[in-house]
């Protein structure tokens, strides 16, 4: 029987997304589970997160101390930046072994339909949702890909797309860098984008994105491929990049080249305390920050070229 390692990190509700990001992007967990968050009219009404759980394929040489050291360093950096230790939680790390079937299905218990912006509703493919007149439903199964709409970075992007879409009067093209499950490209098309291209450096998520586009009947307007930002050809009205801050800084020249003269750049995946790195990178690439949206210590800058 195949096994996985469940990494459990004790945290506070406000920092569960931050810990999740560390487990995915620094530890390499393909899946992360947190307790359910409930929203009503875009306001958080329930959040009882005490533990974030990440999953790795079982190996004999797994070293829990490396994960503990990472969490300790990151927590200390937040405290040094002036954040109260009591508001962060302990970030104590523990592990256990679980059967593959358990980790693959466990997270589904905590994910239910959620209305993200004024229109977009993210609905798991295994659940139903009572659609209202203004609702735009996106049926989603992320598989092993990052992007369910529950992370603040994804929600910020979707709200930004809803906001900027009315400013375009003709056909709209969109590039989604770090597409993951394809959720942002699909949301863009559902909101009025004529054609969207999504790229991700993880080849395993491309089939997930393609399947999600088919489930939402937008496969004729979405194209996904494995690669880097520099592999995308052409120029676009909207460029969205929901990636880590350091990666955004590295690829900013590519993002600038992808923008049409009157295009809009939507950036996310940025912890608030690292916004200055983005501002510096934008300036170096002849781009100017227009406005910033914020949720739970995450920020999403908008840049109008």
99: Cα separation from own chain's centroid: 27
Query: What backbone torsions phi and psi does residue 175 show, to the nearest 5 degrees?
Result: -115, 130
Task: Report the 10 Å Cβ neighbour count for 47.
Answer: 16
Weakest-pLDDT range from 124-128, 142-146, 180-184, 239-243: 142-146
**Res 9: pLDDT:** 94
**Res 201: pLDDT:** 86
CB 226 within 8 A of CB 204: no
CB 135 within 8 A of CB 119: yes
Beta strand 37-40 with 43-47 is antiparallel
User: Which of these, 246, 204, 248, 249, lies nearest to 225 by C-alpha position?
Assistant: 204
Average pLDDT for residues 131-156, to the nearest whole number? Answer: 74
**Res 82: pLDDT:** 83
pLDDT over 90 for what percent of the chain? Answer: 46
- Where are the chain's structural domains? 3-110, 152-304
Which residue has better confidence, 81 or 162?
162
- DSSP secondary structure of 27-64: I--SEEE-PPEEEETTEEEEE---EEEEEEE--TT--H
User: Which of these, 8, 25, 6, 34, lies nearest to 91 by C-alpha position?
Assistant: 8
Q: Which residues are CB-neighbours of 25 under 8 A, at least 6 positions away?
A: 244
Residues 238-283 have pLDDT tens digits of 999 998 888 999 999 999 999 999 999 999 989 888 899 999 999 9
What dotted CATH number matches 3-110? Answer: 3.30.70
The two structure tokens encoding residue 224: 């996904």
Q: Across the chain, what does the average pLDDT equal? A: 85
CA dist., res. 290 & res. 288, Å (int):
6
Grade residue 39 by pLDDT with cuts at 50, 70 and 90. Answer: very low
pLDDT of 61 over the 80 cut:
yes
**Res 148: pLDDT:** 60
Alpha helices in the chain (DSSP H): 16-22, 64-80, 85-88, 100-106, 152-164, 183-191, 206-215, 245-258, 275-284
Which residue has better confidence, 61 or 234?
234
What dotted CATH number matches 152-304? Answer: 3.40.50.150
pLDDT of 100 over the 90 cut:
no
């Amino acid at each position: 029987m195949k096994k996985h390692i469940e990494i459990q990190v004790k945290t506070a509700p406000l920092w569960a997304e931050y810990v999740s990001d560390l487990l995915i992007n620094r530890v390499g967990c393909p899946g992360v589970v947190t307790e359910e968050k409930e929203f009503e009219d875009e306001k958080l009404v329930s959040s009882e997160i005490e533990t974030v759980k990440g999953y790795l394929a079982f190996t004999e040489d797994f070293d829990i101390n490396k994960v503990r050291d990472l969490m300790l360093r990151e927590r200390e950096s937040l405290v040094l930046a002036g954040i109260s230790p009591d508001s962060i939680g302990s970030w104590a790390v523990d592990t256990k072994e679980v059967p593959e079937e358990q980790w693959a299905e466990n997270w589904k218990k905590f994910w239910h339909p959620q209305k993200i912006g004024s229109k977009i509703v993210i609905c798991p493919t295994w659940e139903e949702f009572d659609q209202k007149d203004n609702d735009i439903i996106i049926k989603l199964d992320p598989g092993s890909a990052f992007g369910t709409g529950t992370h603040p970075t994804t929600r910020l992007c979707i709200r930004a797309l809803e906001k900027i879409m009315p400013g375009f009067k003709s056909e709209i093209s969109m590039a989604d860098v770090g597409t993951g499950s394809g959720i942002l490209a699909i949301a863009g098309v559902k909101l009025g984008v004529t054609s969207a291209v999504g790229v991700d450096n993880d080849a395993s998520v491309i089939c997930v994105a393609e399947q999600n586009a088919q489930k939402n009947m937008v496969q004729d307007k979405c194209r996904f491929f494995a690669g880097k930002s520099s592999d995308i050809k052409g120029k676009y009205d909207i460029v969205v990049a929901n990636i880590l801050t350091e990666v955004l800084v590295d690829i900013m020249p590519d993002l600038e080249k992808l923008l049409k003269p009157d295009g809009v750049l939507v950036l996310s995946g940025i912890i608030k305390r690292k916004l200055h790195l983005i501002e510096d990178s934008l300036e170096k690439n002849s781009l100017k920050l227009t406005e910033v949206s914020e949720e739970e210590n995450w920020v999403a800058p908008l840049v109008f070229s």
